[in-house]
Amino acid sequence: MWKGTAKKAGLSFRLEAEESLPSVMLGNMDAIRKIISNLTGNAVKYTDHGGITLRFFSEAILPESQVSSHPEAKYPPYITESSTISPPPPIIFGMEIADTGVGIAPEDLDRVFLTFERGLMQSALSYEGTGLGLAIVKDLAEAMQGSVRRESTPGKGSLFTVRIPQKVQDPSPVGRRSDWSAVSPRTEPFASILAPDAKVLEVDDNEFKWQDMCEFLKPTLIRADDVESGREAMEMLEIREYDMIFMDIMMPEMDGAETLRRVREAHLADDTPVIALTADALAGTKERLINAGFTDYLSKPVSMREIGELLLRHLGDRVRLIRDPSFRKFPEEQQPELSEKLLPFHIHLEDALELDSGSVDNLRMRAEHFLNYKEELEYLTGPAPSAGKNETPIPAEALFHFAHSLKSAAKSIGARDLSVLAAYMERHRNEEMLLIRMLPVLEVEYETVYLGEKTLLDALDTFISCAEETHS
């Protein structure tokens, strides 16, 4: 992913890793990916020639007191402080991103992590961007009790170093990179799932999310009902029986966990598998949700393959597998050209294609659903207030829920920057003034991606039209 970003900018990319790094650590992998993505993206933006080096390392163990209060660094439920088998000691996981770019002037070094300060820095005036990338990096690192250090020489380049305390699950060293097993992504389309006798209930307060799920389930012939709240779910369960329930975790009024608790207490679905839908990709999430009573979970954005595997796992003999003759994969030879077209719109096509094995139809569906967010965003931003009229303040809770929903929608189409911005707003749900200041930035980024998705839809329509003419 990061090598491709550098390569497209005509830069070299070098990845280094200490051989002594533990094989498996417990932490917020999604946040760490966002840190790396922001720092490498920032390095590429300010580097005209030369290259980028990303290095992973570990350092001396911190005293337990410095990491024990960090929620993402807790031991999973099956490993406790009182376990007879002592867990491996925590470490400092570090990463360095070095570039050969323009560098940062000494007077600007103290301002690089400040929100909205980029436009005031002389060394950044000729480059595009919102200036939020490094502020987000600092915010993410500090949320994990970590730190970020910067060093720079104007005209020679910059070095950013991130250190984050991590629990260790498997202390065996990763070894030399040349010995790592090459893992290739699954590219074959998942066989179609048929379960015409099954009934499922989708519980999600976001209309676009359950539309996605309904589209995924349509080819399976599964009968699906959808409701928008925990209360409505309980009402449906009082009158109907279901073979499976998909439950969003974050909903207003009653969240998913509370809804499940009440459903079980009322004996409305004692033996029905309840699948948690969550955007939380932290280590230990599955264990936490299983302990809360959920049967299984899916991390948003979900793919057709994941849904198919889950249906097979929990519906067993009621599911039939057939080869999907209608599966249309976007041609690999056309991907580089389309990727180049979409990059100016901050869309990474490879992310979207990987999610559903290159399915043209799913790619199109996600793009169309993303465009539907425009209406809600326009409602939140609203027209400029008329002279002499007071502008009604936007409730922080409304901004939070919009950002929460947009985060996974943007991620599903490869809009990394927009997804990171939405996640940043989501984490600051209680800082109303910051959310209001961030909204215009989010709007600009959304509009950029919106235009890119329109370009993508045009390309997909052309491909589908040509494919249909060929087979007619």
* pLDDT category of residue 5 using cuts at 50, 70 and 90: low
Determine contact, residues 456/367, Cβ cutoff 8 Å: yes
Looking at the fold, whether 340 and 277 belong to one and the same domain comes out as: no
Model confidence at 209: pLDDT above 70: no
CA-derived radius of gyration, the chain? 24
The answer as to whether 441 is a domain residue is yes
**Integer angstrom CA distances of residue 210 from 74, 213, 239:** 32, 5, 21
Looking at the fold, whether 311 and 339 belong to one and the same domain comes out as: no
Residues 126-169 have pLDDT tens digits of: 444 445 668 888 888 888 889 999 998 888 999 999 999 988 87
Cβ contacts of 357 within 8 Å, gap of 6 or more: 186, 187, 188, 189, 190, 303, 305, 329
Residues 432-465 have pLDDT tens digits of: 888 888 888 999 999 999 999 999 999 998 888 8
Looking at the fold, whether 78 and 169 belong to one and the same domain comes out as: yes
Determine contact, residues 163/59, Cβ cutoff 8 Å: yes
What tokens does 316 get? 């067993």
- If 0-12 CB within 10 Å is exposed, 13-18 middle and 19+ buried, where does residue 448 land? middle
pLDDT on residue 3 = 63
- Residue (of 456, 449, 394) closest to 420 by Cα position: 449
Q: Which of 304, 322, 340 finishes a domain? A: 322
Q: Which H or E run includes 33?
A: helix 29-45
Looking at the fold, whether 201 and 169 belong to one and the same domain comes out as: no
Looking at the fold, whether 211 and 91 belong to one and the same domain comes out as: no
Determine contact, residues 217/243, Cβ cutoff 8 Å: no
Q: Which H or E run includes 289?
A: helix 285-291
Cβ contacts of 340 within 8 Å, gap of 6 or more: 8
How many helices and strands in the chain, by DSSP H and E? 15, 13
CATH number at residue 268: 3.40.50.2300
Looking at the fold, whether 32 and 137 belong to one and the same domain comes out as: yes
How high does pLDDT run on average in the chain? 78
- Torsions phi, psi for 128 (to 5 deg): -80, 165
- Percent of the chain topping pLDDT 70: 77
pLDDT on residue 57 = 92
* pLDDT category of residue 237 using cuts at 50, 70 and 90: very high
Write down the pTM of the prediction.
0.59
The answer as to whether 327 is a domain residue is no
- Distance CA(403)–CA(399), nearest Å, equals 6
> What is the extent of the structural domain holding 281?
192-322
* pLDDT category of residue 55 using cuts at 50, 70 and 90: very high
The answer as to whether 84 is a domain residue is yes
- If 0-12 CB within 10 Å is exposed, 13-18 middle and 19+ buried, where does residue 223 land? middle
Looking at the fold, whether 169 and 197 belong to one and the same domain comes out as: no
Determine contact, residues 49/12, Cβ cutoff 8 Å: no
The answer as to whether 185 is a domain residue is no
pLDDT on residue 170 = 73
Split into its structural domains, the chain has a count of 3
Dihedral sign (CA 327, 364, 353, 296): negative
Looking at the fold, whether 465 and 402 belong to one and the same domain comes out as: yes
Q: Which of 146, 175, 204 finishes a domain? A: 175
- Distance CA(412)–CA(13), nearest Å, equals 26
What tokens does 334 get? 């056309």
The answer as to whether 186 is a domain residue is no
In the predicted model, what is the mean pLDDT of residues 281-292?
A: 75
Residues 56-86 have pLDDT tens digits of: 999 866 454 444 444 333 333 333 333 344 5
The answer as to whether 430 is a domain residue is yes
